[in-house]
Amino acid sequence: MKGLFAALLVLGAGFFAYQHVVRVRQVGCYEKLADAWARGRTDEALQFAAGDDVRRSLEQHPLRSLVDARMIEALHGIRSTVESSSHRDDGEVEIEAKQTIAFDPPGITSAIGGAMIMSFHHSARLRKTDDGWKVVAFEPTFIEMRRIPRH
């Protein structure tokens, strides 16, 4: 009886560990694409994508077209937070995330951390391919831009 319990415990732990590894790979793929998008590196972002839909979205919605590009002099930090993730019946995964980008506008140098922050909502869909997880749909939406309060 103890052997059966131990075997079930090991199988359960293995299943949860596998699920965790898969989730880390999915989120990592999205985050690499989102980071490259924020830096304006479309070719780099496409390394984590599959299909023409993502290419079109990246080309039609670069970060600097969603905000006034003249507002950004220096980027200081990019952070993405997955707000939700769901599995579809076809095996694809949908991710809803928030990306925040700290930056300095012209004439203000913060040295560390950025003087302002802008936020975006990302809707992404990923699919398992022979090359691993790839983003097959990506839709960035501007949320806000604001000053970072200094104390």
For the chain, state the CA radius of gyration: 19
Residue-wise pLDDT for 6-54, tens only, equals 665 555 556 554 454 556 789 999 999 999 999 999 999 999 999 899 9
Q: What is the structure's pLDDT at 22? A: 55
CA–CA separation, 103 vs 122, rounded Å?
19
Structure tokens given for 140: 């960035």
Q: Is the CB of residue 86 less than 8 Å from the CB of residue 97?
A: no
Q: How many domains does the chain have?
A: 1
CATH number at residue 139: 3.10.450.50
Best-predicted range by mean pLDDT among 41-50, 59-68, 141-150?
41-50
Mean pLDDT value of segment 84-102: 94
Parent domain of 66: 2-147
Is 57 exposed, middle or buried (CB count within 10 Å of its CB: 0-12, 13-18, 19+)? buried
Residue-wise pLDDT for 102-137, tens only, equals 998 887 777 677 888 999 999 999 999 999 999 999
